[in-house]
Amino acid sequence: MVAVINFGGQYAHLIARRVRELGVKSELLVPETSAQKIKDLSPDAIIFSGSPHSVFDKNAPRVDKNIYDLNIPILGICYGQQLISYQLDGLVTTHESKQFGKEILKTENSVLFENLSKRETVWFSHGDQVDKIPSGFNVIGSTKNAKIAAIENKTKKIYGIQFHPEVTHTFSGQKIISNFLFKISNCKKDWDLKKQKDEIVKSLKQKIKSQKVIMAISGGVDSLVAATLLKEAIGKNLYLTFIDTGLMRKGEVSEVETIVNKVGFTNFRISKSGARFLFALKGVTDPEEKRKIISKHYFAIFEEEAQKIKNVTFLGQGTIYPDRIESAQPTKHADKIKSHHNLTLPKGLKLQIIEPLAEFYKDEVRKIGTILKINPEFLARHPFPGPGLAIRILGEVTEERLSIIREVDYIFISELKSSGLYNKVGQALAALLPVKSVGVMGDARTYSYIISLRSVDTQDFMTADWSKIPNVVLEKISSRIVNEVRGVNRVLYDITQKPPATIEYE
Ligand code: XMP
């Protein structure tokens, strides 16, 4: 296992995924993790991530200095290299000319750079630099503006690089990580998803035995794959419930029924609860409050459903690794962004939570789904958030707004499918802005809602770029929406990346 110390940089998840792509298990740890705890976990290697902080910040994350004496190889990336230099006896300074973007790295002889060229394109993204290396270290890489762009302490197997090997702009980045894992550290390639799947099923069997599990299924990939794992482990003791919050897309309920039948789940119930959610959301405009209300009712309904089944012990959930990290309580180093409704567990919940996919990233979940022989069409479905259309209607959720956004979403998604783009983009959605603008239709003045369409390209949903959908497709979508959906007279296309924007609107 590789321990990735997450200093709050947006790239920490990407590092963890890159390590897994190389067949090695990775786990994110908070900087406060003590050296003793790390020793107990006995990772084969440690990677320090980047960070939005400067080592000079008052609240900058640091590690327990005893980590440097654990005899475990360390690779510090960007902030990670600066921290190593700062905590050992080097010197870090803030330079006037900051380095952002592509740079040419001149590499020296080092195992870290084995099989690389003497000049490599790498990606920089930080203001501080190391100006004096700690004793015992050598410089193994430099650029025009950074004389100390990579360092090594061969004896202690501590390495630092000022650039980001985990991003694709660093062409040989994956080779560098591979050299660190297999040539410097003693990592083994044993993160194999087929094996993982067998192990999950085995441990679910051991944990659940002949007790009953109720599980929320949403039609999304995560809950579907998690439920299929549970089905394989416990068969008829799995009880699936689909809570129709009334915040669903057009046709969602029947699509979920099709999926459930095709996969062959037996105990399945639909709880029609639309009116209850709409009533609870009346007059509520604050995004976090909406999420909390939905979460509260969602879990209450779940408990009611569980009571109908009798003697249910567990509640199955499709939570995946980034959900847990993004929803984590704010630490000193990362802000809480949103409360994912399926993670804010109400106090006093009588069911024990079971999360078969809590260790996996989205792309891994899809691969597990393929191993389970789930129809590829179901696995290719874009994510749909638990709070549903409520977080795509900014401001108050009303019946009228719901029916508008449903029609708009249906046109948008249908057109993406018919133009062959649906499977190429990561997630597409429509949001209703609670403002009206003036338009003209026929000879009449209109005063209607504005719709914002968002489509993003992303691998991990942690960072995302807006999809470059061809103009002809956008034009057709826009004209269909304003012609076919009453109450909308203007369509915008969102061209913001995540970060700074999130994928959903609330
Ligand atoms: P954001 O908006 O945070 O979304 O960039 C990242 C991914 O998470 C999904 N999402 C949710 N999924 N419950 C969920 O199950 C939620 O409360 C929730 N909020 C956001 C979002 O659709 C995107 O795929």
- Looking at the structure, do residues 70 and 204 belong to the same domain, yes or no? no
**Within a domain: 65:** yes
Query: 358 CA to middle of ligand 1, Å?
Result: 15
Q: How many domains does the chain have?
A: 3
- Looking at the structure, do residues 52 and 199 belong to the same domain, yes or no? no
Q: What pLDDT score does 330 carry?
A: 40
- Residue 388 CB less than 6 A away from ligand 1: no
- Looking at the structure, do residues 92 and 152 belong to the same domain, yes or no? yes
CA pair distance 358, 21, nearest whole angstrom: 18
**Within a domain: 386:** no
- Residue 13 CB less than 6 A away from ligand 1: no
- Looking at the structure, do residues 207 and 314 belong to the same domain, yes or no? yes
Q: Are 130 and 81 in contact (CB under 8 A)?
A: yes
Determine the Cα angle at 441 with ends 437 and 442, to 5°: 160
Q: pLDDT of 73-89, one tens digit each?
A: 999 999 999 999 999 99
- Looking at the structure, do residues 30 and 149 belong to the same domain, yes or no? yes
Amino acid 103 reads E
- Residue 383 CB less than 6 A away from ligand 1: yes
Ligand 1 atom at shortest distance from the alpha carbon of 220: 15
Tell the residue number behind the tokens 């630490």, with chain if given: 331
Query: 345 CA to middle of ligand 1, Å?
Result: 16
Rounded to a whole number of angstroms, the distance between the first and last alpha carbons of the chain is 36
Which of 151, 167, 184 is the last residue in one of the domains? 184
Which of 313, 347, 379 is the last residue in one of the domains? 379
**Within a domain: 459:** yes
CATH number (domain holding residue 156): 3.40.50.880
Alpha helices in 179-336 (DSSP H): 193-208, 221-234, 252-263, 274-280, 287-309, 321-326
- Looking at the structure, do residues 254 and 303 belong to the same domain, yes or no? yes
Helix (H, G, I), strand (E, B) or coil at 85: helix
| 291, 317, 429, 503: residue to mutate for ligand 1 pocket, most atoms within 8 A of CB | 503
**Within a domain: 503:** no
Query: 425 CA to middle of ligand 1, Å?
Result: 16
- Looking at the structure, do residues 235 and 263 belong to the same domain, yes or no? yes
User: pTM here?
Assistant: 0.80
pLDDT < 70 regions, the chain: 9-10, 97-98, 325-349
**Catalytic site includes residue 187:** no
CA pair distance 329, 21, nearest whole angstrom: 28
Ligand 1 atom at shortest distance from the alpha carbon of 338: 3
- Looking at the structure, do residues 337 and 444 belong to the same domain, yes or no? no
**Within a domain: 367:** yes
- Residue with the smallest CA separation from ligand 1 atom 14 is 385
Q: What residues form DSSP beta bridges with 147?
A: none
Q: Are 223 and 319 in contact (CB under 8 A)?
A: no
**Within a domain: 388:** no
Which of 354, 379, 404 is the last residue in one of the domains? 379
Query: 374 CA to middle of ligand 1, Å?
Result: 23
- Looking at the structure, do residues 135 and 251 belong to the same domain, yes or no? no
Q: What pLDDT score does 19 carry?
A: 97
Q: What are phi and psi of 391, to 5 degrees?
A: -95, 5
**Catalytic site includes residue 407:** no
CA pair distance 298, 208, nearest whole angstrom: 23
**Within a domain: 389:** no
What's the Cα-to-Cα distance from 78 to each of 1, 44, 49, rounded to whole Å?
22, 21, 7
Q: What pLDDT score does 176 carry?
A: 98
- Looking at the structure, do residues 145 and 215 belong to the same domain, yes or no? no
- Looking at the structure, do residues 71 and 40 belong to the same domain, yes or no? yes
**Catalytic site includes residue 341:** no
**Within a domain: 501:** no
| 429, 504, 505: residue to mutate for ligand 1 pocket, most atoms within 8 A of CB | 504
CATH number (domain holding residue 489): 3.30.300.10
- Looking at the structure, do residues 286 and 352 belong to the same domain, yes or no? yes
Q: What pLDDT score does 347 carry?
A: 62
CA pair distance 468, 232, nearest whole angstrom: 40
CATH number (domain holding residue 215): 3.40.50.620
Q: What are phi and psi of 313, to 5 degrees?
A: -100, -40
Ligand 1 atom at shortest distance from the alpha carbon of 383: 24
DSSP assignment letter at 185: S
CA pair distance 438, 285, nearest whole angstrom: 24
Domain enclosing residue 477, as ranges: 394-493
Q: What pLDDT score does 329 carry?
A: 41
